[in-house]
Structure formats: structure tokens, C-alpha cells
Structure 1
């Protein structure tokens, strides 16, 4: 058998892709294959042997291996065709609902079944031989017990099927002539297809197909030839781990214009694929979009456009590299989206949470754990100590729940009751009113005070919306005065009750330092580093001691 680059194989029930066909010094005069395993742990190298590069692996991982072409492990590795797989699983079934029994033609060969739809029962004798007295084969097996009446019955059963599940069946070749008018759901995931064009030509014949799963097939360098096909019935399309390229995604959008559920996870997509993201807007009925485990660094704002926002309600974009530090000024509220999964990204400050709430003001379900700001959060475990105080992690959860819009009812798959939300809001407001200092504000309340959510809380709990800004202005004035005092020997102490004066001595020299009583030791050492050491020493390079007047 001849092998080609990017051909898909199944070896010992493990999927892989041919990356190299040729000889290697280790096996002189023997043809071998260089393959990359889908299961990277099966690999032994990165396509390099003795410092010679034969092929490249994904991210240069040790996911590659070499195998001799005459190895017994390659027998049947190239798989079977679609109709043979169909007969294998549903040949003996009569239910018509996708739950057929054991097949009438258990075959592992690569020969086509002859396309069942191509048999002409008027031209042949029933039995084991045709009109030319030749044995008739289905796959690699001879027709042993069926006449053509039985074969016609099997074919009829295929046409009655509404659900066909052929995942992990080692199918590598589609059928171009089989018509399945009643088929609604087709699962071809994790097979050996590598030519997307031929697969879609087959799908076009299934006029009433609504759900199609092609995930796990690798369409590397496969190019769709657009023949003007339009399939208006398909609603759900899963193409995770297919390595589909930009051009093919554009063609798919044209061929299946009425998709409501699209999965493009594990495909190395990023904001560089800007054309794809813009064309996805053409899917006017799209309600759910999944792009997990790709390489996005920002939210796909090209998708979150005015022309597109009226349908999309679910966005799943977990395990990328996303932060939300900045958003386009002209971006409108995406007020139809109610479910967002943004786990495993790079959200690490509270401004990003406020931005998230601004973009998606109507969220009801949010998954956000496994981000730097929230390594592992579960609001169901929030508890107070005997004094009624929360620990630091619980405080972060409370801030998250309070800052998100009031419609949020499920956080990381845990339901939020109205009573819980009210308790968190009351606690949050009480702490806000008690605040005298924003210098240690790791929650960035100043930014929060500019959000609609803050205004909503102010109306609900009768708070002056300018409270935080006024507190900030007051604090800035204090800081300016303190800086003036520390840089000169004169000046009035407008905030005398809040200021502490310390005399700092170093190498027979001394200097008065004015600081607020709530300053930390770290803040004091920072001032000393600046004023005495001219920033040549960090706060870790020296220690400070406080001398008490001791009377003997």
C-alpha cells in the first residue's frame, strides 16, 4: 500500500498522522513512516534522529515515532470506508433509530462495499456470484449468506436511520452516492478522514441532517472546493481538534449558513484569524460558540459586533490566554449573552472583572475559576469566623459576586440564592462605609465606582455615588501634604491627628519622617529607601529598629 503525507492512520487503536515517508539510517533499504501520535505520550521523539530532522511535531513535542511499512501493526491501519462502517454497525438492525444491532458484514478491509446504492438486482443472480459468475465482495468478505434481496433490505434499513453514530470506527473514506434522507444526527468523530472536501460532498446528500460531529479528524492542508453547495438544515457542527484552516472555515460558513451551535475548540485559532472571526458574523442564527483551548489573548471582539449580538447567548472560550485589561471604546454592551465560560485564562485584576461585567451585563451563568485572580473559588463554602469576618479568599468571592450584575445566578456551576446575594451586598456596603484608606485597595474600588453596577448598589442601599471618589480625593490631598512635609522643614499639619513623626538615624545623620499612622512597615522602608539611600537600596537590603527611651 502507498502512504502519503498527512494521511491518517489507526495503529493499535491509537490515532496518528503520517509526517514522513522514506528511509532512515537505522533501517537501511527499508521504507518507513514517520508519524505523530494524537496521544502525545505514545511518542518517542520530535521527528529528529541523530541530529537529522525528518519531520516536525506539534510544539516540537516528543510525540513522534518511526515505523516500518512492512510492520504487522500497519495492517488495516488505513481504515475502512463510510458504507462499510455503516454496514458493520447497522447492517443487521431494523429499528431505524440509530440503535441497530450487530452488523451483517463485519469487515476490516479497505475495499468499498461496492456502494450498496449501486447494486442492480435485475442484472445479477441472487446468491454468492454475479451474472459473470464472479464472487461478490463486501469490504474484504465474500457475500456468504445474503442474496441481493437481503442486501436491498440492509440498504433500506440505512435509509430509515435517523441517528448514526460511527465514532472511532477507523473510517477514512466517505461515500459520494449514498443518500440518507431521514438522517438527522451523524457522529463521525475521531475517525481517519483527512479530506474535508470529500466529506462535505457526502454530507450534502443528507438533506435533513441537523447535527454533525467531525471532531478528532485532522484536515491538515485540506482545501474545500466550493461548488456552490448550500445545506440549510444543519444546525449543530462540531469541529474540535480538526486543525481546520482559515479558508475552510470560511467555506463551511457559506455551505452551512443556518448553524446555531459551532465548536472550533483545539484548533490553534487566535486573534490573527481576524477574517474568520468577522465572517462568523455571517451566521445570523448562531446561539452557541465554543472556542476553548485555542490561543486567543483577548476576547474575540470581532465576533462581539452589533450585527452579530442579537443571537449569541453562550460563549465558551476557556483555556486560552485571555486578559480583559482593555476593551474597544465603541464596543456596545453584548446584552444577549447569558452564559460565559472563561476559565483557565489570564484574568488577574479587578478592572478586568469590571470590564467583563460591562461587556456582558446580562450574564446568568459564569465559569471563571483557574484564573490568576481566582485560582479556585467556590462560593458555597464561604463562611465567617466567630467575629463575623471572612478570610481573604472568601472576600474575593464576595467582591466578585457583588460586582457582577444582579442577574448572575450560577457561579462555577453553583447556584447563588437571592438571600446569599443580599447578605454579600450588605457586607460589602458595610465595609465600604467603614473605609478610611484606599492605599491598600487590592480590589480597585476606585475603578468600580465608575461602573453602572456601583450606581445600582448606591440606589439600592442609599449611598452617595461619589463616596469613593471623595475618599480618594481626600487621600490624595493627604498624600500631597505629607510629601510636602517630607521634602521641607515647614508646612502646616492639616491632618495632625492622622500623622506620626519619626526621627530616622543612619550613620550619625538624622531626619524627621512624617507618615500616616496606618502606613505599613513596607511603606516606611520605601520612604527611607527614597529619602536616605536615593533608591540605591531596596526595602530588603536594610532593617529598621525602633529605640525606646528606657529609664534606669
Structure 2
């Protein structure tokens, strides 16, 4: 192999950094820098020769894979020899980890369907050891209708090779190149015709710098969605050509998930140059605080951004949440889960209503819609908590709670705490108690397969009081949040648990709380203090 080539050995991918003899040994050695730093047995040195810190020397044995062409990989995956109609085939269910084997029929029909490569619109060839394109025109003749292409974790070594493939896909709109290590060419002019219609590109775990990412935007004139997570980025250092490319205005969504960003001001300063950027994903970074944007700094606002993901950062102060609306006046959707501010039993009680009250335009928080009733309850509760902090001047309250005056004007000023010594407005005063009776069996009326029935007649099920749990919730809570809370109490995996609930009616019958009503408030669904459910 040549220096710079990509190879694969025992499922580990690396870049060739040295080819040749090593002193005191016979034959040729290959010095490899592995993508996985733990793969190398040492620092890549042998008898004074060194490749890279994450590398090692290997022999060019038969186990080393040097890659295949795009069409070879495509044919290998999508065209399979027919087994014949008389052949009985067995298939392992993918979700059973090989534990369940079933007989499959008519698989040859599926093979014939996928064998029509010219009909394919979406192709996934991740981890297929692709190292090169094919002869000029062969790809466009074979699969001319491709709209989406996944080439993640292959042996591609440069953007010229990627362009050789995509240039023959005139309809291509979505491209995934995750976990590749691609060298940039010295001149971008040779690539300008290869990515003209790309609107979405994934470059996660490619170790590109922000300057290189900006360089790539110049050859992606229609780019709307950009993913560059897991790239160890610490800053968005301004590229010398930033702002010169009018196509940057097309960017609408940027994913910076699982990088190393910590400076909120720096992020906003750079990204406000993208006037149509609406969605920003900063999940799992190192952001600790968001400073308040002062009136004289209003030119630094980020008015286009509407969707912000800040889960799993290090935010620990409510001042940062107050500051969000000064930076992002049109913020509609926010994700905060996994931050110290909302973590822990004490914080979780107040986190959702406090966040809703502090950010005025939110309509979605942590993936759950905010109803008009929930916003009203949250803002009233927030005002009651402010007043319970004791006697403060108006200036002090306004400084600590920037929405104090606005909320007082909207809902009326709450009574001072000294006027209500015996009945302070606590969160518990707004809660209602629900009782749940657990069962792992379907009610009697549903055991015969009548799943379309949503009402169980009186006596149709047994309520086991030994399996009763109680829960305090806000009436404005959505049914979806209630299901999540039940799973947490029972220590169940929310994603893998199918939870069905029936509400006991006044006449003793039971009505199912259907999933289609997940966004409805509990009080809208008829739940009240003392309601019983199974």
C-alpha cells in the first residue's frame, strides 16, 4: 500500500504512515496509525523507526484488507444469488441477539426487488471497506436515482475519492461520511461539481477542524443540515474566508454533539453569522454557564435560532436559563436534561415549571409540548416561590428574576408572604394524588384478543391493593410525562416498556388512557385528586 492509504485489519481501520524495511528484520513492514488509539500495542516504534503515537507496525499478510470499489461493495450487499423457490430459508431475528430463528418465505422476491439497483433511492454501505470509485460513467449507469448515501466507516482516504463517487449521482441530497479520515485537496475547484445538490451531510467523528469544515461549506452551496459531532472541537475559530460565501446562508441545522465546547459567548459570536440557522445541537459538551446579554449588547443576539439542545452539559445556575431569552429571543424548543441544574430529586421537582416560567416563548421542553394551562400553572407557581423568598426590594427581585415584572403584569402581583403566614403557596398545594394498581396481566375483557375495546366493564379487572403505588403530580402534566414517571418509579426502561393505563370511572368501569392522547393534560383527561388507575 501507499503512504496515506487506508487499510483494515481484524475490523480495525487505520492509515498507512510508513511502508518499508526496518533495521535488523527481514521483509516489509507497514506502519499504521489506527483510528482507535487503543489498538496499537506500543507507540508505533520499532528499532528506532516510529509511525504515530496511536500506531503499530504490522506485516502485509493476507489478513490485511486494502478495500474494494464502490460498485463491488454495492453489488455484494444488494445483489444476492437467488436460492430457488423450493429452498427453505431460516432467518435470525436481529433484535433477539441470535436467539430466535424463524422460517422465511418469498425472500427471492425481496432479492429481485433490491437487485434493481437503478430503482434504489437510499443506499447504506457503511463499513463496507470501500476505498475507491469506479470507471467513469459506470456508477451513473448502475444507480442513477440515489438520493441518500451512507459511506460511513470505510477506507476512503480523500475528498477526491468521495467526489469521484458522488459526481455520478446527480440527484444526491443526503451524504453520510461518519468515522472516515479524509484529506482535503489543495484546491477546491476540482470538487465544485461533485456536491451541488447536497443539502444534508454527516461528518461525525471525522476529526475535522472548524477551519476545514468552513472550507467544505464552500463546495456545498445548498447545505442545510450539518453534523460534526464527536470531533474533539474546542472552538469555532474564525476561518479567514468566513462570511465570503453566500451559500453559508442556507445552513439551518448544526449538530455539535459530544465535542468539547465550553464558551457560550464564543459559540454565539461565530454562529450568528449564519442568518438562517434555526437548530443548534450542543448536547454533551462542557458548557457551564450562559451570561446575561446586556442591553448595549443586543446586536449580539441570535434571532434565527429556535431549537436548542443543551442536554448533558454542566449548567448549574438558574441565571443561565434567565440569560437564554436575552441571547435567543425566539427560542421555542429547549432540551436541558442531564445538567446539574435539573438533576437530583430536589431539583427535578421544580426544574420543569421554573424553566417554562423563565423562558417566555418555549412551546417544547425536553421533547414534551408545553400547553397553555401548564405555562399558566408554571408561571403562577414561579411567582409564588419568588414571594416566599422574603422581603426584597423591587430592584432586587427584578435583578434576580428578570421576568418578575412581566409576570406580575400578566397574572397580577402575588400577596406578600407576611400576609399569608399560615398558607404559603407551595408546590404541594398544586399537586393531586393518583393511585396506581399494578398488573402484568390484561384485564379479563381483553384476554380473548379484543384489543379494540377501550372500556372495561365493572368487575372486568381486579385491583390488587398489595401492588398499589401513589404519586403526586401537577394537573397540567401531560400523559406522556406521567408514563415516564411511572416507569422511573418502577425502574423500567422507558424506551422498551409498553405501558397501558386504565382510569377507574365513577361507575366502577375502566377507560383506557390511549397513547394518542399523550400530549393532553391530566385534568383534561378527567384525572383528579384520588383518581385510581391500573
Q: What's the TM-score, normalizing by structure 1?
A: 0.59
Distance 1:447 1:425, change over 3 A: same
Query: Any idea what SS the aligned residue of 2:341 has?
Result: coil
Q: What are the equivalent positions in structure 2 for 1:258-269 lying under 5 Å apart?
A: 258-269=222-233
Task: Name the residue aligned to 2:66.
Answer: 78
Task: Name the residue aligned to 1:54.
Answer: 50
Task: Name the residue aligned to 1:456.
Answer: 406
Distance 1:197 1:419, change over 3 A: same
Distance in 2, matches of 1:392 and 1:340, equals 21
Kindly indicate whether residue 281 of structure 2 is the aligned counterpart of residue 316 of structure 1.
Answer: yes
Distance 1:24 1:354, change over 3 A: farther
Query: For the Cα contact (< 8 Å) 1:224–1:251, is it kept in 2?
Result: no
Q: Aligned-pair distance for 1:169?
A: 0.6
Distance 1:287 1:447, change over 3 A: same
Distance in 1, matches of 2:121 and 2:9, equals 31
Q: Aligned-pair distance for 1:238?
A: 1.1
Q: What are the equivalent positions in structure 2 for 1:242-321 lying under 5 Å apart?
A: 242-245=206-209, 248-275=212-239, 278=243, 282-299=247-264, 300-305=267-272, 308-309=274-275, 311-321=276-286
Q: What are the equivalent positions in structure 2 for 1:5-84 lying under 5 Å apart?
A: 5=4, 7-21=5-19, 28-47=25-44, 54-57=50-53, 64-74=54-64, 77-84=65-72
Q: Aligned-pair distance for 1:250?
A: 3.6
Q: Deviations over 1:324-378 (max 9, x none)?
A: 236582445434422211223332322222222222233332222333434x37x
Distance 1:392 1:89, change over 3 A: closer
Task: Name the residue aligned to 1:402.
Answer: 357
Task: Name the residue aligned to 1:365.
Answer: 333
Q: Aligned-pair distance for 1:163?
A: 2.0
Query: For the Cα contact (< 8 Å) 2:222–2:247, is it kept in 1?
Result: no
Kindly indicate whether residue 148 of structure 2 is the aligned counterpart of residue 181 of structure 1.
Answer: no
Distance in 2, matches of 1:21 and 1:327, equals 56
Q: Aligned-pair distance for 1:81?
A: 1.1
Decide which structure has the larger Cα Rg and report it: 1
Note the residue ranges of structure 1 that are not aligned, 5 or more in a row. 58-63, 95-152, 383-390, 468-552
Task: Name the residue aligned to 1:436.
Answer: 390
Q: Aligned-pair distance for 1:289?
A: 1.0
Task: Name the residue aligned to 2:123.
Answer: 164
Query: Any idea what SS the aligned residue of 1:265 has?
Result: coil
Distance in 1, matches of 2:165 and 2:192, equals 11
Note the residue ranges of structure 2 that are not aligned, 5 or more in a row. 83-111, 417-534
Q: What's the TM-score, normalizing by structure 2?
A: 0.61
Query: For the Cα contact (< 8 Å) 2:362–2:370, is it kept in 1?
Result: no
Query: Any idea what SS the aligned residue of 2:375 has?
Result: helix
Task: Name the residue aligned to 1:334.
Answer: 302
Query: For the Cα contact (< 8 Å) 1:163–1:185, is it kept in 2?
Result: yes
Task: Name the residue aligned to 1:235.
Answer: 199
Query: For the Cα contact (< 8 Å) 1:221–1:245, is it kept in 2?
Result: no
Q: Deviations over 1:209-248 (max 9, x none)?
A: 1111111111146545423724442211111122235564
Q: Which moved more, 1:156-165 or 1:402-411?
A: 156-165
Task: Name the residue aligned to 1:4.
Answer: 3
Q: Aligned-pair distance for 1:290?
A: 0.7
Query: Any idea what SS the aligned residue of 1:35 has?
Result: strand
Distance 1:262 1:272, change over 3 A: closer
Distance 1:43 1:422, change over 3 A: farther
Q: What are the equivalent positions in structure 2 for 1:457-536 lying under 5 Å apart?
A: 457-463=407-413
Q: Aligned-pair distance for 1:265?
A: 1.5
Distance in 2, matches of 1:364 and 1:73, equals 53
Q: Aligned-pair distance for 1:192?
A: 0.8
Query: For the Cα contact (< 8 Å) 1:258–1:285, is it kept in 2?
Result: yes
Task: Name the residue aligned to 2:454.
Answer: none
RMSD: 3.7
Q: Aligned-pair distance for 1:172?
A: 0.9
Task: Count residues in correspondence.
Answer: 373
